[in-house]
């Protein structure tokens, strides 16, 4: 009887030790987005765009509050759903050329309109929000670990093809909405995401950020303003 009791006690001790060892390793394992919601520097919320009734999730990361969804506001000929399919707007948000995103004249796609760009330029963002500048994008990317690591932390946990999903460490939920090129063709949905900034780089170009399904990076590039990319708004 005593030997059986001793075996039971030893079994309980062994199991308890395994649990303790498992718990000791937890801080070194990837942290799920649900657990990240207890971080003191991240706040989650939502709001409704009164212009069309579209609801958006929001996330405060450090000192910045971002939309956690791509903008899906219809802005005429300068915006489009990927492949012209409304279901892609519902999934990825709409795509915009730079002048449309900035609510400037179409001619601003081919000439410099820097003198018309305000420090917190609303563009087609809802009231109280603005198109993020190149510098404001840099703040977010640096906070998320820099260009070489931020993509993995900012990309959504689903929607990226061929194992390209991210960890969505902060709840930013970056989606691969693709883009529309100068010849009118669409490319990249499921594989790439492109997001405009409010900052020009010469007459015909503007800075943007992009992420790929097969890399953990966030890339800083500039390209033709006439191309249609996604838009994330930043709270004033």
Phi-psi region of 234 (alpha: psi -120 to 50; beta: other; left: phi over 0): beta
The per-residue pLDDT for range 77-118, each reduced to its tens digit, is 999 999 999 999 999 999 999 999 999 999 999 999 999 999
Residue 14 has pLDDT above 50, yes or no: no
- pLDDT greater at residue 7 or residue 118: 118
What's the mean per-residue pLDDT of the chain? 87
The token pair at 116 is 């018309």
pLDDT at 119: 94
61/136 Cα distance (integer angstroms): 12
Residue 179: inside a domain: yes
pLDDT band at 32 (very low <50, low <70, confident <90, very high): very low
Helix (H) or strand (E) holding 183: none
Residue 13 within a domain: no
Nearest Cα residue to 131 out of 108, 148, 147: 108
> How many residues are recorded in the chain?
236
Q: Higher confidence at residue 84 or residue 35?
A: 84
Sign of CA dihedral 186, 187, 193, 197: negative
Structural domain tally of the chain? 1
Q: Is residue 217 part of a domain?
A: yes
Compute the distance between CA of residue 108 and CA of residue 119 in angstroms, rounded to an integer: 17
**Lowest-confidence segment of 26-30, 86-90, 190-194 by average pLDDT:** 26-30
pLDDT band at 220 (very low <50, low <70, confident <90, very high): very high
Question: Which tokens in the block code for residue 25?
Answer: 């390793």
Alpha helix locations (H) across the chain? Answer: 2-25, 33-36, 86-92, 98-101, 134-143, 150-154
Q: What burial letters (b/e) apply to 182-194, b meaning 16+ CB within 10 Å? A: eeeebebbbbbbb
Global pTM reads 0.83
Q: What is the pLDDT of residues 120-132, one digit of tens each?
A: 999 999 999 999 9
Percentage with pLDDT > 90 across the chain = 81
Residue 136 lies in a domain: yes
Residue at 170 is within a domain: yes
Instruction: Please check the confidence at residue 74 and state whether its pLDDT lies above 50.
Output: yes
Let me know if residue 125 belongs to a domain.
Answer: yes
- Give residue 42's pLDDT band: very low, low, confident or very high (50, 70, 90): confident
Range of the domain at 179: 41-235
Within-domain flag for 10: no
Q: 124 in a domain, yes or no?
A: yes
């Amino acid at each position: 009887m005593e030997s059986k009791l001793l075996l039971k006690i030893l079994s309980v001790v062994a199991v308890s030790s395994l649990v303790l060892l498992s718990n000791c390793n937890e801080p070194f394992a990837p942290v799920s987005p649900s657990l990240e919601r207890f971080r003191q520097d991240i706040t989650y919320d939502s709001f409704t765009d009164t212009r069309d009734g579209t609801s958006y999730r929001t996330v405060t990361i450090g000192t910045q509050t971002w939309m956690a969804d791509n903008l899906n506001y219809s802005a005429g000929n300068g915006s489009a759903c990927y492949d012209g399919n409304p279901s892609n707007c519902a999934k990825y948000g709409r795509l915009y050329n730079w002048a449309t995103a900035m609510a400037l004249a179409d001619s601003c796609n081919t000439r410099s309109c820097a003198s018309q760009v305000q420090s917190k330029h609303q563009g087609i963002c809802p009231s109280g929000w603005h198109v993020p500048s190149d510098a404001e994008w840099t703040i977010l990317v640096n906070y998320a670990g820099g260009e070489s690591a931020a993509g993995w932390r900012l990309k959504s946990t689903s929607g990226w093809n061929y194992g390209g999903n991210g960890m969505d460490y902060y709840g930013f939920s970056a989606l691969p909405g693709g883009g529309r090129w100068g010849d009118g063709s669409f490319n990249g949905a499921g594989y790439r995401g492109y997001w405009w900034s409010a900052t020009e780089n010469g007459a015909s170009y503007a800075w943007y950020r992009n992420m790929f399904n097969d890399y953990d990076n966030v890339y800083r590039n500039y390209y033709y303003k006439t191309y249609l990319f996604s838009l994330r708004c930043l709270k004033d």
